[in-house]
């Protein structure tokens, strides 16, 4: 199941829509919530959103910490801290931006392995009370 979680972040870092599509469970309706954004429900709507993210993110890298896993029959979840390094919108010109989010990734076991059903990432408030941007 951790391999499926790793595959999600690898697809995100690669900006590869085919890899991302292979990670997700098409039905019942998957849900994806990026920090500070509304929930995206439904496989085709979510794939369109990923295409837009990939088109506008020249570089992103995740360093996962505080990883916790729970498996209960055919449903499992991973919680982790996403330590993010990225370039593109919001980053200094010719530079990188960093951020942190807490994520919950819920998976369902299928005949072809574990598939991501729900991804929810929330920004972490810094000690100064300001949000740290991620994703």
Q: Residue 71 falls within a domain, yes or no?
A: yes
**How much is the pLDDT for 87?**
83
Q: Strands (DSSP E) along the chain, which ranges? A: 31-33, 40-41, 59-72, 75-87, 97-110, 113-125, 131-132
The pairing of strands 31-33 and 131-132 is unpaired
Both structure tokens of 80: 């982790």
The model carries a pTM of: 0.87
CATH of the domain at 62: 3.10.450.50
Q: Residue 134 falls within a domain, yes or no?
A: no
Q: Residue 128 falls within a domain, yes or no?
A: no
Number of structural domains the chain divides into: 1
User: Which residues have a Cβ under 8 Å from the Cβ of 105 and sit 6 or more positions away?
Assistant: 5, 8, 77, 78, 79, 80, 116, 118, 119
Q: Residue 129 falls within a domain, yes or no?
A: no
Of 18, 12, 58, residue with least CA distance to 32: 12
What does each of the 135 residues of the chain score in pLDDT, given as a tens digit?
999 999 999 999 999 999 999 999 999 999 999 998 999 999 999 999 999 999 999 999 999 999 999 999 999 999 999 999 988 665 555 566 789 999 999 999 999 999 999 999 999 876 554 555 555
């Amino acid at each position: 199941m951790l391999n499926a979680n790793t595959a999600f972040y690898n697809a995100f870092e690669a900006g590869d829509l085919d890899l991302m599509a292979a990670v997700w469970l098409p039905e019942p309706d998957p849900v994806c919530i990026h920090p500070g954004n509304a929930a995206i429900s439904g496989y085709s709507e979510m794939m369109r959103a990923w295409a837009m993210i990939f088109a506008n993110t020249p570089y992103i890298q995740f360093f996962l910490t505080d990883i916790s896993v729970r498996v209960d029959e055919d449903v499992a979840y991973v919680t982790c801290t996403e330590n993010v390094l990225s370039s593109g919108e919001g980053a200094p010109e010719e530079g990188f931006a960093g951020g942190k989010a807490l994520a919950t990734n819920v998976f369902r076991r299928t005949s072809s392995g574990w598939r991501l059903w729900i991804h929810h990432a929330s920004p972490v408030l810094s000690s100064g009370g300001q949000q740290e941007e991620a994703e």
